[in-house]
Chains A and B, each alone.
Chain A
Amino acid sequence: MEEVEVLRRQLERARREVSALEQLVEENARTLYTAQEDQRQTATFLMRVLGTMSSAVFVADSEGIFTSVNPSACELLHCWEDELVGKPATGVFCDGEQCPDPGQDSENIERNITRPGGGKVPVLFSSTPLFGDDGKLQSTVYVAADLTHQKKLEVQLRHSQKLESVGQLAAGVAHEINTPIQFVGDSLVFLEEAFVDLSKSIDAGRAVAGAARSAGDVVAAAAAFEAVADEVDIEFLVEEIPTAIARALDGIARVSRIVRAMKSFAHPGQVELAPADLDSAIDTTLIVARNEYRYVADVVTHFGGLPSVYCNIGDINQVVLNLIVNAAHAIEGKVGSSGERGTITVETEVRGEHALIRVSDTGTGIPAAARGRVFDPFFTTKDVGKGTGQGLSLAHNIIVERHGGSITFETVDDEGTTFEIALPLGRAEVKHAA
């Protein structure tokens, strides 16, 4: 083949290659355009999807700077998008000294986040790091669901549960009030009759005084007075009237104490944690719950003079009430109708950085099979109508989740159970304010 022919063929092939390449470039440009259009539509679609989400979604780059947020994020934080994009995520997500690690997966953690304009919002928080092919952190997606409404409902629910307890205790409290009211009534009846008798004596006394003043028959008047005094047994009245008054006042004081305790127990109380006198609160709860245990147990208290403890006192009252009622039921289950009585011991003390509350009983103990589940919601070993299985679950939630404390128990079959609550004394140890 001649060189010219080779060159001609190469030239012809080169022309066709150029043509093929042009076609290829056109096809690639079209493909690229279509791909970009698809990508744009996908991005728009995803942004719309993000826009419909009620949860706030934040995306931060590897440096922890917000690159995009959805409308719910702006709504949650009461700000515009440009007040977040380009700003560090730590400004929003750090809760005190606790900041989420951008490279760490976290799921459904309750925390407070900060609005750029100030103020905190309670949220259910999750973060998901996204890594590139090289294993390096590319971005982090944060999702936050507003818990403000839920927190309000939780407060309402806790109050409802407290009112439910008050309702359940009402019959017992009425009975508690009835006894002193009865002897107040008896004393008043006695005083009413005594007053009539005393009036007679006073009238006779006045007649003696009148006779003496008008130089009348004083001797006869005095004899009449003595007759009346004997008739009404004035010595008895003088002795018994102060006793009856004291008894009536004591009854009124008892009623007043019970009513005060009930009012204090049922009060909605503060939402935030605040310093409270636990010893006094436990004493109040024991008064309210008296009818639950008085027929089966004696209560012994050893209050260790606790300092003010940062807590929601209404919640703690609820927990102590549940423990006392459970203790009474456990003792009732053991003594039955034998007439024997058990003992409920309530103690408080400071140990290290914690305030301890112990409620012990001499009841049946918790069956071995139930010990692992006592804090599970709706788990109960009580008969229908006697327990809903929420008391200890609620107690666990209040002590552990809301106060950053602990609740544990020791139990021995047929000897009894001791529940111990430990509450942090310092506010710094409290995990979640209400």
Chain B
Amino acid sequence: MKGVIFKQFEAFIVERFGDQVFEQILDRTTLETQGPFVGPATYPDSDLFALVATAIEMAGLELDAALFAFGDFLYERLAASIPGIVAAHSDVRSLLLALDRVIHVEVRKLMTDAETPRIACEETGPDSLRVTYRSSRKLCPLFLGLLNAAARSFGQRVQHDELACMHRGADACVFELRFSSAAAIAA
């Protein structure tokens, strides 16, 4: 996992729970990494999972809810690191369609050892997509959190039906997504 995700996790904890909580999380977690996390470096996935586990234990949160919240927090920061590419899209559907073919390619250009998830999109209608998420990390709640924040940034809402999940034995998580504009929701 890239250090930038560890740094964003620190920022997320500090923003939501304060500096002291993050220090306590560090104190209570046994990490493989000796030393601080810095953005460009790569660290074991297990260190992030250990920090998350300590955090949810201390905050009394559900794992899925915590990952969803972290994904929601993470989107704006990640989008800011590739501004030109995200700005080329006017809605979340278009962004998702370009995710694997363009955006993850750009991410891997910037960070050659980044292991991005594989996202396959099937166009099921003008306002819908069937999205297949594959990742050895199985962070589908984080993906949904990112998706939620992306929709919000475009003034949209996204509803999803989960058709399959890796946590229930499927080889990929499959979501049926429906998009609507904020104006339509308000009406």
Distance in angstroms between the alpha carbons of A200 and B46 in the assembled complex: 137
Question: Given A1-B23, A6-B23, A20-B41, A13 and B105 touching (CB < 8 A)?
Answer: no
**In whole Å, how far is A103's beta carbon from the nearest beta carbon of chain B?**
22
B19 touches A20 (CB 8 A): no
Residues of A within 8 A of B159 (CB): none
Query: Hey, what's the 0/1 contact readout for B31-60 against A, CB within 8 Å counting as 1?
Result: 000011110110000000000000000000
B38 touches A1 (CB 8 A): no
A1 touches B24 (CB 8 A): yes
List CB contacts (< 8 Å) of B70-126 with chain A: 105
**In whole Å, how far is A146's beta carbon from the nearest beta carbon of chain B?**
42
Which one of A6, A14, A21 lies within 8 Å of B19 (CB-CB)?
A6
List CB contacts (< 8 Å) of A221-243 with chain B: none
Residues of B within 8 A of A13 (CB): 36
Which one of B19, B38, B105 lies within 8 Å of A24 (CB-CB)?
B38
Which one of B20, B23, B38, B105 lies within 8 Å of A133 (CB-CB)?
B105
Count class of interface residues, chain B: 10 to 19
A6 touches B20 (CB 8 A): yes
**In whole Å, how far is B184's beta carbon from the nearest beta carbon of chain A?**
34
Distance in angstroms between the alpha carbons of A20 and B36 in the assembled complex: 8
**In whole Å, how far is B169's beta carbon from the nearest beta carbon of chain A?**
36
A21 touches B38 (CB 8 A): yes
Distance in angstroms between the alpha carbons of A3 and B19 in the assembled complex: 9
Residues of B within 8 A of A16 (CB): 35-36
Residues of A within 8 A of B20 (CB): 1, 3, 6
Distance in angstroms between the alpha carbons of A161 and B36 in the assembled complex: 84
Residues of B within 8 A of A3 (CB): 19-20
Smallest CB gap from A2: residue in B: B20
Residues of B within 8 A of A267 (CB): none
**In whole Å, how far is B17's beta carbon from the nearest beta carbon of chain A?**
13
Residues of B within 8 A of A24 (CB): 38, 40-41
Residues of A within 8 A of B40 (CB): 21, 24, 28
Distance in angstroms between the alpha carbons of A10 and B19 in the assembled complex: 9
Residues of A within 8 A of B41 (CB): 20, 24
Residues of B within 8 A of A28 (CB): 40
List CB contacts (< 8 Å) of A2-53 with chain B: 3, 6, 9-10, 13-14, 16-17, 20-21, 24, 28
B23 touches A20 (CB 8 A): no
Which one of B19, B23, B36, B105 lies within 8 Å of A17 (CB-CB)?
B36
Smallest CB gap from B37: residue in A: A17
Residues of A within 8 A of B38 (CB): 17, 20-21, 24
B35 touches A20 (CB 8 A): yes
Residues of B within 8 A of A17 (CB): 36-38
Distance in angstroms between the alpha carbons of A3 and B40 in the assembled complex: 29
**In whole Å, how far is A17's beta carbon from the nearest beta carbon of chain B?**
4
Smallest CB gap from B27: residue in A: A1
Distance in angstroms between the alpha carbons of A371 and B64 in the assembled complex: 76
**In whole Å, how far is B78's beta carbon from the nearest beta carbon of chain A?**
20
**In whole Å, how far is B20's beta carbon from the nearest beta carbon of chain A?**
5
Distance in angstroms between the alpha carbons of A24 and B37 in the assembled complex: 12
Distance in angstroms between the alpha carbons of A52 and B187 in the assembled complex: 73
Distance in angstroms between the alpha carbons of A264 and B35 in the assembled complex: 96
**In whole Å, how far is B6's beta carbon from the nearest beta carbon of chain A?**
11
**In whole Å, how far is A221's beta carbon from the nearest beta carbon of chain B?**
128
Distance in angstroms between the alpha carbons of A293 and B89 in the assembled complex: 82
Residues of A within 8 A of B23 (CB): 1, 6, 9
Residues of A within 8 A of B37 (CB): 17
**In whole Å, how far is A422's beta carbon from the nearest beta carbon of chain B?**
53
Distance in angstroms between the alpha carbons of A29 and B105 in the assembled complex: 23
**In whole Å, how far is B116's beta carbon from the nearest beta carbon of chain A?**
16
Residues of A within 8 A of B36 (CB): 13-14, 16-17, 20
Residues of A within 8 A of B105 (CB): 133
Query: Hey, what's the 0/1 contact readout for A161-199 against B, CB within 8 Å counting as 1?
Result: 000000000000000000000000000000000000000
Distance in angstroms between the alpha carbons of A20 and B43 in the assembled complex: 13
Distance in angstroms between the alpha carbons of A5 and B24 in the assembled complex: 12
**In whole Å, how far is B95's beta carbon from the nearest beta carbon of chain A?**
18
Distance in angstroms between the alpha carbons of A37 and B24 in the assembled complex: 46
Distance in angstroms between the alpha carbons of A21 and B40 in the assembled complex: 8
Distance in angstroms between the alpha carbons of A24 and B36 in the assembled complex: 12
**In whole Å, how far is B44's beta carbon from the nearest beta carbon of chain A?**
16
Q: Supply 22 A–B pairs (Cβ within 8 Å), ascending by A.
A: A1-B20, A1-B23, A3-B19, A3-B20, A6-B19, A6-B20, A6-B23, A9-B23, A10-B19, A13-B36, A16-B36, A17-B36, A17-B37, A17-B38, A20-B36, A20-B38, A20-B41, A21-B38, A21-B40, A24-B40, A24-B41, A28-B40
Given contacts A1-B20, A16-B35, A20-B38, 11 further A-B contacts (CB under 8 A): A1-B23, A1-B24, A3-B20, A6-B19, A6-B20, A6-B23, A17-B38, A20-B35, A24-B38, A28-B40, A133-B105
Closest 3 A/B residue pairs (Cβ): A17-B36, A16-B36, A6-B19
B interface residues, Cβ below 8 angstroms from A: 19-20, 23-24, 35-38, 40-41, 105
